[in-house]
A and B are shown apart, each in its own frame.
Chain A
Amino acid sequence: MIGRAVKHRDSALWIAAMVHRISGLALAIFLPLHFLTLGLAIEGEARLESFLRWSDQPVVKAAEIGLVFLFTVHLLGGLRILLIENFDWRDDQKQLATLAAALSAIIAFAFLVRVF
């Protein structure tokens, strides 16, 4: 196959689309685990509590911060698509995409401050 570096993928909007897809994939993998965890409550409050104490470890908290970022960035990326597909074209999409990434990082950082 022809090996060609494809440079147009440095566009902010292409990156936004890719972040949206990867974050969705990561959330889809996470979600069954999330549901199984909450399902521990079936076995009683103590069981859920012991899991939550296990999740106090810094490495788990770090993963949770990552999840908050992915969750927020996926929502904002999705709003990008809904806006393009249902409203008038905007010329400032690149700036909005960058803003969305920044906002997600801020929210994830706020969560970091919260839990550490």
Chain B
Amino acid sequence: MNVRLYLWQRTTAAVMAPLVIVHIAVIFYATRHGVSAADILARTRGSIAWAAFYGLFVFAVSIHASIGLRNILSEWTPLPERRVDACVVFFGLVLALLGLRAVAAVVLP
């Protein structure tokens, strides 16, 4: 961990705090009558607002989770630093790609 990673970690955390609260609220709202695909997609399809919301969420979590994992791997495993960095960068990219794909899946008409 250093000052640069720290700033990215804490900033994405602060950005995500309200997003998480909204997401939990959405989960509760969505499960009011049992959850169905039609229900979810009716809300998200064609919505720029949801695209922006979840797009931002995906971007932030890809960075945040990677740095968090970096701490765990460097403190709790014997892996050398270069290997740790490679793993978490890979993880972050996978998360971002899968995440944006998921956003596209539910938002594109």
Contact = CB atoms under 8 A, between A and B. Distances in A.
8 contacts: A35-B99, A38-B102, A39-B101, A41-B102, A75-B17, A81-B13, A111-B28, A115-B34
Contact of A68 (B27, B94, B104, B105): B27
**B contact patch SS:** helix
Interface of B: 10, 13-14, 17, 20-21, 24, 27-28, 31-32, 34-38, 40-41, 58, 61, 65, 68-69, 71-72, 91, 94-95, 98-99, 101-106
Contacts, number: 90
Given A41-B105, A42-B105, A35 B98 contact: yes
Contacts of A24: 65, 68, 72
**A contact patch SS:** helix
